[in-house]
Structure 1
């Protein structure tokens, strides 16, 4: 079942790309006591993700912070090394935390798996954005395959 407003963020272990290398992150700790915008993409370095999705959140970082967001995080079913390289390539600096859900366990727990096995890409994350306050979802928007409207930074800003 897909995560919805009112749900608690599932507890899972994922990896964060850091300057020192991959670091394990407990999602319960990541979301505790904060307002977090989490957006998920089908893959690092993919066309829409690199040209629009991630850059939009970097560009609107200050506006999101002004609306009370404590943390902006990007997640994909990639490894932490790929997420770190993508973040560096995109110049995210400390504006967006790059999270890796390499085995898709967290993605599965949220009900957001996108099966692209037939296209040679395996299990991926659906394109989505959510807002959680102290670990409880207050807004969630999941894109239809191929779409990019409801999960972009401007749509999240409008929802806050």
Structure 2
């Protein structure tokens, strides 16, 4: 069952930059408002050409609408996530977090079997608004190859409405 408004974030650890760069998601969102952007895979076409770039180019709008933190989560290793972020020039705008064992993605029930395309279970494409560890909105794409409701523009409007 997909996450619902009012659910709390799971107590999961993600990784930033290296296997030693543990980030506890509940600590990251404690007392903060932000966005978790779930993507099927680093360097994949839709993720690299459309989805994540929408958050980079709209970062100032996200901040103005109240986002304290913006993170991208993918079932990849932290080295790949760091390289992908560098290739897109995310700088300090978007934190690139690796869900190395798909634990966070499964805990929020947003995984799918991508074995035929990407070799393993991966994250669905989504945007999740979180305030102090409580899920306030979730936009999940109908297909992992689509990026519409999970792009930054609709998320900015959701943030403004909060």
Q: How far did residue 158 of structure 1 move?
A: 1.6
1:24-60 per-position Cα deviation (integer Å, ceiling 9, x unaligned)? 0111101101001110100000000000111110000
TM-score (norm 1): 0.95
- Structure 1 counterpart SS, 2:21: strand
- Structure 1 counterpart SS, 2:73: strand
Establish whether residue 100 from structure 1 lines up as the match of residue 122 from structure 2: no
- Structure 1 counterpart SS, 2:16: strand
Q: Which runs of 4+ in 1 moved over 3 A?
A: none
- Structure 2 counterpart SS, 1:99: strand
The separation in 1 between residues aligned to 2:118 and 2:56, in whole angstroms, is 30
1:99-133 per-position Cα deviation (integer Å, ceiling 9, x unaligned)? 00010000000000011113352110000001100
TM-score (norm 2): 0.94
1:64-123 per-position Cα deviation (integer Å, ceiling 9, x unaligned)? 000110000001000000000000000000000000001000000000001111335211
Q: Normalized per residue, which structure has more strand?
A: 1
**Structure 2 equivalent of residue 141 of structure 1:** 139
Does the CA-based 8 Å contact 1:22-1:80 persist in structure 2? no
Structure 1 unaligned residues grouped into runs of 5+ = none
Does the CA-based 8 Å contact 2:51-2:151 persist in structure 1? yes
Structure 2 unaligned residues grouped into runs of 5+ = none
**Structure 2 equivalent of residue 113 of structure 1:** 111
**Size of the alignment, in residue pairs?**
158
Q: 1:78 aligns with which of 72, 76, 80?
A: 76
Q: 2:51 aligns with which of 32, 50, 53?
A: 53
- Structure 2 counterpart SS, 1:50: helix
The separation in 1 between residues aligned to 2:117 and 2:41, in whole angstroms, is 13
CA distance change for structure 1 residues 62 and 120 in 2, over 3 Å: closer, same or farther?
Answer: closer
The separation in 1 between residues aligned to 2:156 and 2:104, in whole angstroms, is 24
Establish whether residue 130 from structure 1 lines up as the match of residue 128 from structure 2: yes
Q: What is the root-mean-square deviation in Å for CA atoms of aligned residues? A: 1.2
